Structure formats: structure tokens, C-alpha cells
Structure 1
Amino acid sequence: MIDPASGVPAWRQLADLLRARIAAGEWPPGARLPSETDLVQQYELGRTTVRRAISSLRSAGVVEVIHGWGMRVPAPREMERVVAESGSIITIRMPTPMERATWEMPDGVGMIVVTGPDGVPYAYPGDRTEVVAP
């Protein structure tokens, strides 16, 4: 449960609890998680606290939020390995609506942009790309 006296923010405790339940197999890939309202009631937390925990999990790729449907555990994806040339600049940004649709990216996942020494940027979905420096 959430321990207000622990010194750890409640949103972090909730995110850790949900992550542990997912890792234990309570919710396998594709499984729907409890709604935001259910989590507020179950853990007796404020809506903002629950939203921050969900946002943290979503950003880490632990859950995906589907508007109008809810939250689920994503299916594992194979990672694409990209080798950045020496002198490349690597940045992270949010995708455009077209990129999100093209790559079928869940909300909260950023794009990894690798700009080579020639100045040409290449964008990759952050939930399935691993960038390796030489």
C-alpha cells in the first residue's frame, strides 16, 4: 500500500506498485488495467497523484493509454538498433500527429532524433529504438 510517511512521493509509490504487479504477471501483455477512477478509489489517492503515476509508467513504456478505451500493458516489441555516427547529436521530442499515426505510437512516447555530422536528422520511435554510440 501507499505509505505517506515513507518520504517517497505517493505517485512514485503507486507507479512502483503497478509496475511490480505487471512484472509479476497479474496483467499480461494486452490486459486492461484498472481505470484512473478505480485506482483513485482503491489506493485512496487524489486524481492528480494517480495521473502522475500513470504518466510515469506511460513514459517508461510500461503501459499504454488508449483514449476512449483505457490503459493496458503493451505487447513486447523488438528493438531496432541504430548506430549513431561519431559526432551525431541525439535528441528526444514528442512526435507529430502524423508520426504518431504512421508508427502507431502510444501517447507519451517520444521520438529519438539522430542528427548525423552531415546535419541530416533521422527520427525513430522511442518505444522500439535503441541508439548505440560507436
Structure 2
Amino acid sequence: MKMRRVTQVVLGLVASLGMVVGMQGAASASGLNVSIVKSWGTTTFYPSGDWLYIQDTDADGYAVYGKIQELVCSGYDCQAPEWQDIRTGCYDTTSIGDNGSPIRQCNYDIAENSYVRACEARYTSVGGSRYGSWYCSDATRS
């Protein structure tokens, strides 16, 4: 009787472990959310759905632009990978946003499991010239 109970417990544990491992294998290959936070704006890339959220947090007359870059092979045998813009044109001012919020939400379609990062910069106005440098997040998987 004891041996039968031990066998049932062991089989139950093995079945539970199989379900947990199976669930992990079925999970999305998407990476973690990545953000750039400055005193004048915030940009966040959400790999689940390929969303880029941009918020201009300073009513200073400048616009905050965001973009997504992908790490691509370059040079002989991919010895010198480099970041290239793949999605641009997402911007926010303190006067616009989406869905009643102050955040601009841009939805993109990016190849799964690519190494990507989000970048943000300030511009003198919508369509104006860049004011300062581009700031980029750590890399994540799309």
C-alpha cells in the first residue's frame, strides 16, 4: 500500500514538472521591456506587441521623438554588427497623446526574436531639427 502511494506521488510530481517545463518552452521569445528616462521625456519599448510608448514630460516647446533600432550584421562574417533604424516617426509633445492619455503609442510589426533597442531624442518642434543627442536603451529581443 505504501509503495503504491509513493508511486502515485512520484508520478504526480513528474507530471507537474512536465507541465511547468512545457509551459516554459511555449512562452514567447520576446525580451523584457526597455526604457529611456530623461527629465524631459520617457520612451519605452514593449516587445509583446511591438509597442513604442513616448511621453514628453516637459512643456518646453520641444518634441520627443522615439525610434527602434535593430542589431544587424555588418562586415566580413558579421564581425562588426551595428545598430540600424528600423522604425522611426513616433513623437510626442505635451499637447498630444493617444486614447485620452498624454502618451503617444506607436504599434509596429518587428521580426520576432531580433535584437532591438529603443532610442529617444528631443527636437526643436514636430518636424524640426534635433536638439541634443539620441539616447538609447539596452538591447532586448522583439
TM-score (ref. length: structure 1): 0.30
- The structure, 1 or 2, with the larger RCO (C-alpha pairs under 8 Å, 6+ apart) is 2
TM-score (ref. length: structure 2): 0.29
Question: Larger strand proportion, structure 1 or 2?
Answer: 2
Question: Larger helix proportion, structure 1 or 2?
Answer: 1
